[in-house]
């Protein structure tokens, strides 16, 4: 019965786990030294922080803000999914779970289209795969909770 809660918690954790993993140590090491942040296994939050810190210098300002808004949306929707799962409100949990999934797909499309991840330097990290699994677990758990709340006792 706690599947939506577990899925939502994993979605939230995914924002802080490695979203990308460096393939080539030397290229990523040079970038890490230039910006002063270890970029060997950056999370979604790390990418956002680095983009915002380097807006206008290494990254276009508009791109930094797009990444910030999309990452914040993913985290916000994951938190709302977690909240409504804890309150045992399956319809609201499903809605925010789906919104988190859509925001995550938008971020993946953006990163892929710009050649950030996957690329010659990076492959997808555990967060990429865990987020998809967490979204499915939260969605199935919310549906299960919805059905369980609607059953008529025999």
pTM over 0.85: yes
Exposure string of 52-65, with b = 16+ CB inside 10 Å and e = fewer, is eebbeeebeeeebe
Q: How far is 102 from 121, CA to CA, in rounded Å? A: 26
* pLDDT tens digits, 89-125: 999 999 999 999 999 999 999 999 988 888 878 899 9
Task: Tell whether the torsion through CA atoms of 128, 134, 137 and 138 is positive or negative.
Answer: negative
């Amino acid at each position: 019965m706690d599947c939506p809660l577990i899925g939502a918690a994993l979605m939230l954790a995914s924002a802080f786990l490695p979203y990308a993993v460096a393939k080539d140590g030397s290229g990523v090491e040079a970038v890490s030294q230039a910006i002063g942040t270890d970029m060997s296994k950056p999370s979604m939050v790390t990418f956002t922080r680095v983009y915002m810190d380097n807006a206008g210098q290494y990254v276009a300002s508009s791109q930094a803000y797009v990444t910030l808004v999309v990452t914040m949306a993913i985290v916000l929707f994951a938190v709302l999914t977690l909240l409504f799962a804890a309150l045992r409100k399956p319809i609201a949990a499903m809605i925010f779970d789906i919104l988190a999934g859509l925001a995550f797909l938008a971020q993946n499309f953006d990163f892929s289209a710009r050649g950030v991840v996957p690329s010659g330097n990076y492959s997808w990290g555990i967060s990429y795969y865990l987020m998809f699994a967490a979204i499915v677990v939260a969605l199935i758990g919310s549906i299960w909770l919805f059905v369980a709340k609607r059953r008529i006792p025999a």
